[in-house]
């Protein structure tokens, strides 16, 4: 077969319309050497079920073969109808192949699979096309995100997934571009800049395709931006509409009636700080109702006293929005956390389902946002149905059944005191996808519990530049030592805890839970054989009985997992794929799971492939490094560490943190400390250069604080 026939065959296999213009053929052909891994038997071609168009997306999930869109289908329920792998045979589930992605940064993506080809995104918004029959890379696309962009992201340089439509793969890049790639070659077809590049926006979420449009949001509310989502024509890349989630400067014309209405719920000069409300993750779509559902994020800055000093609900922060996907007009909204002040985003995944409630079939949507309440809304009109705490919550006593508004505990707002608030800013549940099994009627939530102390930061000054860790964060909370502190008496809950919760949205209660070793576990997959699959932060891939949470199968994958697994059929076999690689030194924080290269693991019944050698050479004990320091230097270093380093790093701490735990930094790292911190020696890894922000003395004080903390942790661990 010549190179062009390989390409055409690939297009057929992908069942994608490869609309190659003649001028692109040369370009495309130059990459075909990488395509030789594509098999070409008639069996494979018979699998083709038609191009990925609107109709195929509407029925995604029914067709059993593929995983075509982020949440499996438009309802985003991550409930696969596949039953080949079931409780009776799961003991024979074994490895079919594994693939080293050559990265140690966080992997959070949901893999898409179309006709046996997997499309996966990774750190720095890279895209991989993988042949699932062989476990080999067909092509890899690197959008060349400037590595200095790492300092404009709150939570590592991750990407949660791509979208597929008519022969193209769509990806949002960390630096704000939306790119359409030719699915058969990985060559860009078009690219648009979706953000104001003078502002610290970022994209980590997956685009969605609705009615031939690519919908993409953005993040950056920790740095000072105004949230919005935009629809682009999938074929041309031309902007169709944009919906802002919070109002801009009221002296200028409002972009929509929704913005005019929203502005009445804000006071002061919020627009100068961005306002927030970024839509960085959740979307779902109901084709029958023609409504696109979008979750919005926290306020920017966090503390409403700075953002909107006269109070107000601050629409549409922390809200679920129903938008007409044809024109981007708001149809209804529901705000989960009015006057949001705790980073209680409502960007967590939204699932659509039809439930029998009080004898009536209702079209509902469900969300377990950060604020700790599990919401059920009528998705036709946004009417409130129920909200119940799914984890420990102390910021509100409950949600008023009539108004649908939270009954706040007065001290939670930390205006006259510092306050221990639960959940903390990482939420009762974060972006890690939950799943809903209509057979069991249960929603499986990768949940967590923790308490954080919030206080008004009297010294906060808006950092116009945004971006950049250390004073680049515009969160505005701190600890005000001039006022009292209200402590939560359940002090034991200050240790972050993780759990998988099976929640009944009809009975409005937990049915079972599995307490987990760590607090930041992977997204969830549910199947029609009543299995629930989840990877864990301590490096296991586990299958649970969906009815009672019993572990029916598990295997070690070496490194921590946060990404959700997917399942699909190829050549009549069911596969389950999992992306492992927590990044950020998880292995050093959780000693049972040493830091591993990011890997894709694919399992099937009777799989006999050997696991790759796990990395055992990682330092799991804190090295002893001599140093001398005064108390003043250490105290000064601690303050600087909090401002400049704690966004990404921890020191001997078992939770949070995206870059390595500095307690485990080697003597070599410490010898090169000034070069790394001030001169940017680790810029290629995304570590910013601090030379213009930290003096040599300040940098050395930070180092002394790190060494003294590490020394204390070393003694404690003995």
CA distance 373 to 429: 10
Name which of 58 and 452 has its Cβ closer to Ca ion.
Answer: 452
**Residues 339, 313 contacting (CB under 8 angstroms):** yes
In 3-state terms, what secondary structure has residue 682?
Answer: coil
Burial class (CB in 10 A: 0-12, 13-18, 19+), 62: exposed
DSSP state of 594: -
Torsion angle in degrees (nearest 10) through CA of 205, 209, 213, 215: -20
CA distance 664 to 677: 16
DSSP state of 590: S
Q: Specify the DSSP element, H or E, that contains 443.
A: strand 442-449
Name which of 300 and 703 has its Cβ closer to Ca ion.
Answer: 300
Stretch near Ca ion under the rule CB under 5 A, chosen from 294-302, 539-547, 549-557, 577-585: 294-302
Name which of 298 and 440 has its Cβ closer to Ca ion.
Answer: 298
Q: C-alpha angle 204/208/213, rounded to 5°?
A: 125
Shortest reach from residue 300's CB to Ca ion, in Å: 9
CA distance 601 to 554: 13
Name which of 153 and 298 has its Cβ closer to Ca ion.
Answer: 298
Name which of 279 and 532 has its Cβ closer to Ca ion.
Answer: 279
Residue 101 φ then ψ, to 5°: -90, 0
CA distance 375 to 390: 10
Shortest reach from residue 219's CB to Ca ion, in Å: 8
Stretch near Ca ion under the rule CB under 5 A, chosen from 118-126, 292-300, 404-412, 506-514: 292-300
Name the token pair of 365.
């949507």
> Which one is catalytic: 131, 175, 343, 480?
343
Shortest reach from residue 302's CB to Ca ion, in Å: 8
Q: Is 298 in the site for Ca ion (CB under 5 A)?
A: yes
In 3-state terms, what secondary structure has residue 73?
Answer: coil
CA distance 384 to 386: 6
Shortest reach from residue 298's CB to Ca ion, in Å: 4
Name which of 151 and 343 has its Cβ closer to Ca ion.
Answer: 343
CA distance 417 to 88: 56
Q: Is 424 in the site for Ca ion (CB under 5 A)?
A: no
DSSP state of 618: S
Name which of 132 and 450 has its Cβ closer to Ca ion.
Answer: 450
Name the token pair of 423.
């959940």
Name which of 32 and 202 has its Cβ closer to Ca ion.
Answer: 202
* Interface pattern 587-626 for Ca ion (x via CB under 5 A): ----------------------------------------
Please report how the helices 696-716 and 631-644 are oriented relative to each other, as an axis angle in degrees rounded to 10.
100
Shortest reach from residue 222's CB to Ca ion, in Å: 5
Cα 195 off chain centre by: 19
Q: How far is CA 329 from CA 257, 259, 314, 325, 475, in A?
A: 9, 11, 19, 8, 30
Q: Is 153 in the site for Ca ion (CB under 5 A)?
A: no
Stretch near Ca ion under the rule CB under 5 A, chosen from 296-304, 363-371, 416-424, 707-715: 296-304
Shortest reach from residue 155's CB to Ca ion, in Å: 8
Query: Does the annotation mark 62 as catalytic?
Result: no
- # of chain residues touching Ca ion (CB under 5 A): 2
* Interface pattern 338-357 for Ca ion (x via CB under 5 A): -----x--------------
Q: C-alpha angle 51/55/57, rounded to 5°?
A: 80
Shortest reach from residue 346's CB to Ca ion, in Å: 11
Shortest reach from residue 525's CB to Ca ion, in Å: 26
Name the token pair of 318.
């922390």
Q: What positions carry a catalytic annotation? A: 343
Which residues of the shown chain bind Ca ion in the complex (CB under 5 A)?
298, 343
């Amino acid at each position: 077969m010549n190179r062009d026939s390989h390409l055409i065959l690939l297009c057929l296999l992908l069942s994608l319309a490869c609309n190659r213009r003649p001028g692109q053929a040369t370009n495309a052909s130059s990459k075909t050497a990488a395509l030789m891994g594509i098999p070409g038997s008639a069996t494979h071609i018979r699998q083709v079920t038609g191009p990925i168009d609107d109709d195929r997306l509407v029925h995604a999930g029914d067709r059993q073969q593929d995983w075509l869109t982020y949440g499996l289908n438009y309802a985003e329920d991550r409930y696969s109808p596949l039953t080949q792998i079931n409780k009776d045979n799961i003991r024979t589930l074994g490895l079919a192949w594994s693939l080293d992605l050559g990265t140690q940064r966080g992997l959070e993506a949901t893999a898409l699979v179309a006709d046996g080809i997997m499309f996966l995104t990774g750190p720095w918004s890279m895209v991989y096309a993988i042949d699932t029959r062989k476990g080999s890379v067909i092509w890899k696309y690197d959008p060349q995100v400037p590595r200095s962009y790492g300092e404009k992201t709150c939570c590592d340089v991750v990407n949660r997934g791509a979208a597929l439509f008519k022969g193209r793969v769509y990806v949002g890049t960390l630096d704000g571009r939306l790119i359409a790639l030719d699915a058969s070659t990985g060559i860009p077809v078009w690219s648009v800049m979706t953000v104001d590049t003078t502002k610290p926006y970022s994209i980590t979420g997956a685009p969605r395709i609705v009615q031939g449009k690519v919908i993409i949001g953005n993040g950056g509310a920790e740095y000072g931006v105004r949230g919005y989502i935009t629809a682009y024509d999938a074929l041309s890349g031309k902007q169709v509409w944009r919906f802002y989630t919070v109002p801009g400067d009221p002296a200028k014309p409002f972009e929509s009636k929704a913005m005019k209405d929203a502005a009445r719920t804000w006071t002061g000069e919020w627009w100068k700080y961005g306002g927030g409300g970024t839509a960085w993750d959740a979307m779902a779509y109901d084709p029958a109702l023609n409504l696109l559902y979008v979750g919005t994020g926290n306020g920017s800055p966090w503390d409403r006293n700075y953002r909107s000093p006269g109070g107000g609900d601050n629409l549409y922060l922390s809200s679920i929005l129903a938008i007409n996907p044809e024109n981007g007009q708001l149809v209804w909204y529901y705000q989960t956390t009015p006057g949001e002040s705790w980073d209680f985003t409502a960007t967590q995944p939204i699932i659509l389902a039809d439930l029998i409630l009080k004898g009536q079939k209702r079209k509902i949507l469900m969300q377990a946002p950060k604020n700790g309440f599990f919401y059920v809304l009528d998705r036709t009109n946004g009417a409130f149905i129920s909200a119940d705490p799914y984890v420990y919550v102390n910021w509100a006593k409950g949600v008023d059944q009539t108004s649908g508004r939270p009954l706040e505990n007065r001290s939670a707002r930390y205006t006259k005191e510092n306050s221990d608030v639960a959940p903390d800013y990482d939420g009762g549940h974060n972006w890690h996808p939950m799943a809903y099994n209509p057979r069991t009627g249960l929603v499986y939530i990768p949940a967590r519990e923790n308490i954080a102390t919030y206080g008004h930061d009297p010294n906060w000054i808006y950092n116009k530049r945004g971006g950049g860790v250390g004073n680049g964060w515009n969160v505005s909370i701190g600890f005000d030592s001039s006022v009292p502190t209200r402590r939560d008496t359940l002090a034991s809950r200050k240790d972050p805890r993780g759990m998988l919760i099976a929640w009944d949205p009809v009975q409005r209660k937990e049915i079972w839970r599995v307490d987990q070793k760590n607090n930041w576990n992977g997204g969830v997959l549910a199947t029609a054989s009543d299995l629930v699959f989840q990877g864990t932060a301590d490096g296991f891939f586990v299958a649970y009985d969906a009815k009672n949470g019993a572990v029916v199968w598990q295997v070690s994958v070496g490194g921590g997992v946060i990404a959700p697994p997917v399942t699909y059929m190829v050549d009549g076999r069911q596969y389950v794929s999992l992306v492992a690689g927590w990044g950020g030194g998880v292995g050093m924080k959780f000693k049972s799971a040493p830091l591993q290269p990011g890997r894709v693991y694919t399992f099937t019944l009777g799989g006999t492939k050997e696991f790759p050698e796990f990395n055992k050479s990682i330092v799991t004990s804190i090295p002893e490094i001599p140093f001398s320091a005064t108390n003043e230097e250490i105290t000064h270093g601690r303050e600087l560490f909090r401002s400049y380093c704690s966004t990404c790093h921890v020191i001997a701490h078992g939770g949070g943190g995206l870059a390595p735990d500095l307690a485990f930094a080697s003597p070599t790292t410490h010898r090169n400390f000034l070069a790394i911190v001030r001169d940017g020696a680790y810029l290629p890894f995304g570590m910013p250069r601090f030379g213009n922000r930290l003096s040599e003395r300040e940098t050395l004080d930070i180092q002394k604080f790190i060494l003294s903390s590490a020394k204390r942790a070393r003694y404690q661990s003995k």
